[in-house]
Amino acid sequence: MRTLMITIGLIAWQIGWGQTTISGKVSDNKKHPLRGVSISIKDSYDGATTDSLGRFQFTTTEKGSQILVASNIGYKTLEQTILLGGTNSELELVMKEEVSELKAVVITAGTFEASDKKKTTVLSPLDIVTTASGNGDITGALKTLPGAQQVGETEGLFVRGGTAAETKIFIDGTLVNDFFYSSVPGIAQRGRFSPFIFKGTVFSTGGYSALYGQALSSALILESIDLPERSEANIGVSVISLNGGYQHLAKNKKSSWGINYGYTNPYLAFKLYHTVQDYTTYPIYHTGDANFRIKTSKNGIIKYYGYFSQNQLAFRTASVDTPGYKDMFQLKNFNMYHNFSYKENIGKKLKMYAGFSYTNNKDDRNGSLEDQKNEEVILPGLEFKKFGLKLKGDYLNGKLVFEQRLKGLAMLRFGGEYNYSSDRSYYTDYNSQEFDHKINEKLAAGFAESDIYITNDLAAKVGARLEHSSLIDKTNFAPRLSLAYKLGAQSQASVAYGIFYQSPEKQYLPGPVPLGFSKATHYILQYQKVSSLTTFRVEAFYKKYEELLKTVAFYGNQQMLATNNNGYGDAKGFEIFWRDKRSVKGLDYWISYSYLDTKRDYLNFPYAIQPNFAAKHTASLVIKKFVTKWKAGINASYNFATGRPYYYIGYDINSHTYKFDDMGKTPDYNNVSISFNYIPGIGKQNAKAFVVYVLAISNVFGINQIYNYQYSYNGIRKEPVIPSVKTFIYLGAFISFGVDRTQDAINNNL
Amino acid sequence: MKQIIGICIAVIVGTNTFSQSDKYIKTMESKLISVDTTVSVSGLTDLSNSFQRIGDAEKTQWLPYYYAALASVKSGYMQSMGGQVPNPTAIDQAADKADDLIKKAEELSKDNSEIYCIKKMIATLKMMADPMTRWQTYGPMAAEALAKAKELNPNNPRVALLEGQDKFFTPEQYGGSKAEAKVIFEDAMKKYESFKPESSIAPQWGLSTVKYLYSQCK
């Protein structure tokens, strides 16, 4: 009987005392309960998952001193020693958020990013090519974002009251000198590079990183793609172009190479549409590019991208300078661009980025005045209409950046940049007199920048840049600072401050007196709220311009000579961006609005005034929808800008001063564009070819658009600068031969 | 009486000296019942955590991590379904967790057809979080994983299940086809019949899904 008692006792012990119940609650350091946390006794099976109130309870047969482990994604794993078998006390566990890139606050003041990766991304790379008003051009799509102006008569990005020259463009870290095709009077030129070669785009409308410089307003930072997804050949045919290419991915997926060739000739299109210009040589472009990419290690890659293009055009337009006569303009351009970049992890925490680029550009421009019979004439007082201008440029850019990872997410970046440029110009006037001009510049820069995470919710980026220009023999020091503070799970506030310098534009160098850098100081305040399907951001800015160039007349009023750095100005305003993929299923749209109040006194301005490239209100609406039934993507966009001022600045020879002889304001700018992408073969298995048809119509409603006004040399007459074609219809087919993976891709969810 | 005492002692001794591997098998078996039946996100998270605990304690078994990944990827699918617009962040978290777990399983068992099936499911889940921008990356990744799973074991019924599912859920405009899916599901059912799991806890799930989807192929 005693044995029985003992046995029963033993059983009771086994059941009652053998098991310990552990219960408790898990919260974060703000006392919010944490759900889905895995609780376990180390090296045992016992444990539980917390419920929506952060509570857990489980029993264990483990005894004695054990380690309790709490783990949850995004939190530091918590280990706590507990004594089992004693009293079942309620455990209160507090988990700390892990400092991770996923959760940490990211500095976003002034930047718009288009990439696949980061959560700060506002656009995807695909958005760049599917924005209706973008016409497949990188900067075209960026003009639908707040901060950028709708300037149609000149290429480039005019950001927050800045000129196009105040925006610099970088590919894989290095400066690109001739991003756009050579300027043609009155017609904005496209970017030279296909948007498809880039996987990441960072568009900074102010307060950008110390790694970049020589841009008073804005930096556009482009990152080229790594290895392609697969080997593929492609052909494209459109109303204005033909192109073909081949991309080869090695079997081991460690390297790739590719070549492309394109031919553009708008003969057909220009026969159909009335163009403002009367072309004697249609704009014909030959472009070719080649690339290779070699993966050197898990994180290392060598990339090469080489490009060449040759283009020419010639046209007549009615001359504003003298009624009844015509202006003849001719342009031939050759451009070559090579970019090497190398990225490698050279230590556990040290990364290296090296970039090198070389550009060779040749422009051959000719102008003349023609009579009604299209015969060249030289009229007294208008001799300057006859000219020849050859421009030759060689540009070398090198950059080396090291990125040292410090504690946690903290980071230190430092390095240097070297830009060499050689510009030669050969000007021939009406009586064959030649004027040669040569200018070399060596710009060296050093920079350092650190990302500091004070907490997961508060981050700072502190940087500085030191630059020396050999040409003007001056040095500048530009500090940059930005802060971001996380207000909630989805919202954050950022501020940015920075000083930015830019060398005088080459055409003013060397001046009759020593010239210095122009300077801009940016102050930016931003609030943003980003959920997975919506983005809202509002940004206010103040930009102060100092030491802008001032010019005086030279050769009558035809040439300008920079004489001092006494120009100044400012720009202030606010911008709103809203993107929504949630409200209507399958519909994706964004709205941007910019308010800009800017004045400047620079070049030959008599006093500070709103410059002719700045509109007070600018807005865009971009809509995208993919209709599964039709296998088609429909994109539409509406761009609006209030009128911009225009004026004629006359020179009074007696008083040697400038004055506004005439002034006005253009009508508001409205543009509605639509595009359709039709993909009939989508999902067809074992299809050898994959075709995308594109139909794009710009200015669908044929709204009259006046970009600006052009004055005659003496300011007596003016004429509106309008788009060369009112409504343009683009039709194209792009065929790729490779493995069609749309089937796997679209899969379950569409 | 002596008998009772004897039994009692046997029970005590027995439970105490239960060999570790028996305990492993028994625990796994008890959890596996829930794999095909749990449908709530929180239930699947709990299940995934349970398997992960077993995996962490055992250290040398790939199956607990495999099932932990499966439960996590399933919780992601649950979040991507339903009438509402899915929440990509939550889907990503489930997919990333599953990815961590399946990597642990793969370290313990290389070239495993079952593991490649999970990898396929993870890639598809990642794509579903943002199909328009991700299909070019995750589409091929999913196809590759499934092809590898098939290469490693052509008779794996779960490979057929996943192939059939792709056909079933893809709209016809994109090459999906209920009729073709039906043929694949029939083949899958045959494969389930002839499939001999290596042990009581080896992967054998999916037949009920195939049967359900097959019944919907009309």
- Which CATH number goes with the domain that contains A17? 2.60.40.1120
Pairing of strands A350-370, A387-405: antiparallel
3-state SS, residue A206:
coil
Q: Would you call A745 and B53 a contact, using CB atoms and an 8 Å cutoff?
A: no
Could you tell me if B82 and B28 lie in one domain?
yes
Could you tell me if B107 and B28 lie in one domain?
yes
pLDDT score, position A50: 92
* pTM value surpassing 0.90: no
- Work out how many domains chain B is built from and give that number: 2
**Closest residue in chain A to residue B59, using alpha carbons only:** A43
Report the pLDDT averaged over residues A544-549: 96
Segments forming the whole domain that contains residue A650: 229-749
Q: Would residue A423 count as lying in a domain? A: yes
Q: Would residue A374 count as lying in a domain? A: yes
**In this prediction, what percent of chain B has a pLDDT beyond 90?**
44
A125 touches chain B (CB under 8 A): yes
Contact A258, A305 (CB under 8 A): no
Of the residues B114, B137, B168, the one at which a domain ends: B114
pLDDT score, position B16: 46
Q: Would residue B139 count as lying in a domain? A: no
Angle, helices B2-17 vs A2-12, to 10°: value is 30
Query: Tell me, what CATH number does A241's domain have?
Result: 2.40.170.20
Closest Cβ–Cβ partner in A38, A126, A229 for B49: A38
Q: How many CB atoms lie within 10 A of CB A421?
A: 19
Q: List, for residues A104-158, the tens digit of each pLDDT value.
A: 667 677 777 766 555 556 677 778 778 888 888 888 889 999 999 999 899 999 9
Q: Would residue B166 count as lying in a domain? A: yes
Q: List, for residues A438-472, the tens digit of each pLDDT value.
A: 999 999 999 999 999 887 788 899 999 999 999 99
Band of the pLDDT at A740, cuts 50, 70, 90? very low
Query: B1, B56, B144: which to substitute to probe chain A, counting the most A Cβ within 10 Å?
Result: B56
Band of the pLDDT at B209, cuts 50, 70, 90? confident
Report the pLDDT averaged over residues A409-417: 93
Q: Would you call A44 and B57 a contact, using CB atoms and an 8 Å cutoff?
A: yes
Task: Identify which of A417, A413, A415 has the alpha carbon closest to the alpha carbon of residue A399.
Answer: A417
Q: Would residue B175 count as lying in a domain? A: yes
Computed over every residue of chain A, the mean pLDDT equals 88
Evaluate if residue A635 carries a pLDDT over 60: yes
3-state SS, residue B24:
helix
Q: Would residue A154 count as lying in a domain? A: no
Q: Would residue A550 count as lying in a domain? A: yes
Burial letters for B143-163: b for 16+ Cβ neighbours within 10 Å, e otherwise?
A: bbbbebbbebbeebbbbbbbb
pLDDT score, position A3: 59
For residues A486 and A386, give the distance between their C-alpha atoms in angstroms, rounded to a whole number.
61
Q: Would residue B75 count as lying in a domain? A: yes
Side chain identity at residue A458, one-letter code:
L
User: B217 to chain A, minimum CA–CA distance in Å?
Assistant: 15
Q: Would you call A4 and B131 a contact, using CB atoms and an 8 Å cutoff?
A: no
User: B192 to chain A, minimum CA–CA distance in Å?
Assistant: 23
Residue B213's φ and ψ, nearest 5 degrees, are -65, -35
A360: region left, alpha or beta (phi > 0 left; psi from -120 to 50 alpha):
beta
Of the residues B65, B89, B114, the one at which a domain ends: B114
For residues A110 and A495, give the distance between their C-alpha atoms in angstroms, rounded to a whole number.
9
For residues B103 and B118, give the distance between their C-alpha atoms in angstroms, rounded to a whole number.
10
A475: region left, alpha or beta (phi > 0 left; psi from -120 to 50 alpha):
beta
Rounded (5°) CA angle B97-B98-B102: 120
**Lookup: tokens for B21:** 């591997």
- Partners of residue B134 in chain A, C-beta under 8 Å: 116
CA atoms within 13 A on the CB side of B93: 17
User: Which class for A377: exposed (0-12), middle (13-18), buried (19 or more C-beta within 10 A)?
Assistant: middle
For residues B26 and A267, give the distance between their C-alpha atoms in angstroms, rounded to a whole number.
78
Closest Cβ–Cβ partner in B46, B127, B173 for A628: B173
Q: Would residue A6 count as lying in a domain? A: yes
Task: Identify which of A724, A628, A705 has the alpha carbon closest to the alpha carbon of residue A667.
Answer: A705
Could you tell me if B109 and B186 lie in one domain?
no
3-state SS, residue A271:
helix
For residues A388 and A368, give the distance between their C-alpha atoms in angstroms, rounded to a whole number.
9
- Work out how many domains chain A is built from and give that number: 2
Could you tell me if A599 and A457 lie in one domain?
yes
Q: Would residue B195 count as lying in a domain? A: yes
Element (H, E) at B211: helix B207-216
Angle, helices B207-216 vs B157-169, to 10°: value is 30
User: Which class for A163: exposed (0-12), middle (13-18), buried (19 or more C-beta within 10 A)?
Assistant: buried
Of the residues A95, A119, A152, the one at which a domain ends: A95
Q: Please give the distance of CA A380 from its chain centroid, rounded to a whole number.
A: 47
Could you tell me if B110 and B181 lie in one domain?
no
- In angstroms and rounded to an integer, the radius of gyration of the C-alpha atoms of chain B is 20
Could you tell me if B105 and B165 lie in one domain?
no
Burial letters for A169-193: b for 16+ Cβ neighbours within 10 Å, e otherwise?
A: bbbbbbbbbbbbbbbbbbbbbbbbb
**Closest residue in chain A to residue B80, using alpha carbons only:** A749
Could you tell me if B109 and B159 lie in one domain?
no
For residues A504 and A508, give the distance between their C-alpha atoms in angstroms, rounded to a whole number.
7
Q: List, for residues B30-81, the tens digit of each pLDDT value.
A: 888 888 788 888 889 999 999 999 999 898 999 999 999 999 999 988 887 7
Q: Would you call B174 and A44 a contact, using CB atoms and an 8 Å cutoff?
A: no
**Lookup: tokens for A621:** 């609406």
Of the residues A53, A70, A95, the one at which a domain ends: A95
Q: Tell whether omega for the bond before A510 is within 30 degrees of 0, i.e. cis.
A: yes
Q: Would you call B85 and A582 a contact, using CB atoms and an 8 Å cutoff?
A: yes
Of the residues A30, A60, A95, the one at which a domain ends: A95
Q: Would residue A183 count as lying in a domain? A: no
With the CA atoms of B106, B107, B111 and B116 taken in that order, what torsion angle do they form, in degrees rounded to the nearest 10?
Answer: 10
Band of the pLDDT at A371, cuts 50, 70, 90? very high
**Closest residue in chain A to residue B4, using alpha carbons only:** A4
**Closest residue in chain B to residue A11, using alpha carbons only:** B12
Evaluate if residue A417 carries a pLDDT over 70: yes
Q: List, for residues A477-497, the tens digit of each pLDDT value.
A: 999 999 999 888 788 899 999
Q: Would you call A741 and B87 a contact, using CB atoms and an 8 Å cutoff?
A: no
Evaluate if residue A2 carries a pLDDT over 80: no
Alpha helices per DSSP H over B18-87: 20-32, 41-58, 62-80
Evaluate if residue B189 carries a pLDDT over 80: yes
**Closest residue in chain B to residue A45, using alpha carbons only:** B54
pLDDT score, position B170: 79
Segments forming the whole domain that contains residue B37: 19-114
CB contact set of A399 (below 8 Å; sequence gap of 6+): A173, A174, A353, A354, A355, A356, A415, A416, A417, A418
**Lookup: tokens for B100:** 């961590």
Task: Identify which of B98, B127, B128, B129 has the alpha carbon closest to the alpha carbon of residue B115.
Answer: B98
Q: Would residue A136 count as lying in a domain? A: no
User: B80 to chain A, minimum CA–CA distance in Å?
Assistant: 9
pLDDT score, position A663: 93
Q: Would residue A649 count as lying in a domain? A: yes
Pairing of strands A632-641, A617-627: antiparallel
User: Which class for A366: exposed (0-12), middle (13-18), buried (19 or more C-beta within 10 A)?
Assistant: middle
Q: Tokens 């930047």 map to which residue? A: A111
Element (H, E) at B140: helix B131-152
Q: Would you call B136 and A229 a contact, using CB atoms and an 8 Å cutoff?
A: yes
Task: Identify which of B23, B13, B94 has the alpha carbon closest to the alpha carbon of residue B64.
Answer: B23
Order of all β-strands in the sheet with A64-71: A47-49, A38-41, A64-71, A78-84
pLDDT score, position A86: 62
Evaluate if residue A748 carries a pLDDT over 50: no
Evaluate if residue A556 carries a pLDDT over 70: no
A3 touches chain B (CB under 8 A): yes
Of the residues B98, B114, B130, the one at which a domain ends: B114
pLDDT score, position B95: 92
For residues A120 and A112, give the distance between their C-alpha atoms in angstroms, rounded to a whole number.
8
Q: Comparing A723 with A687, which gets the higher pLDDT?
A: A723
Regarding an ipTM greater than 0.90, the answer is no
Could you tell me if A580 and A437 lie in one domain?
yes
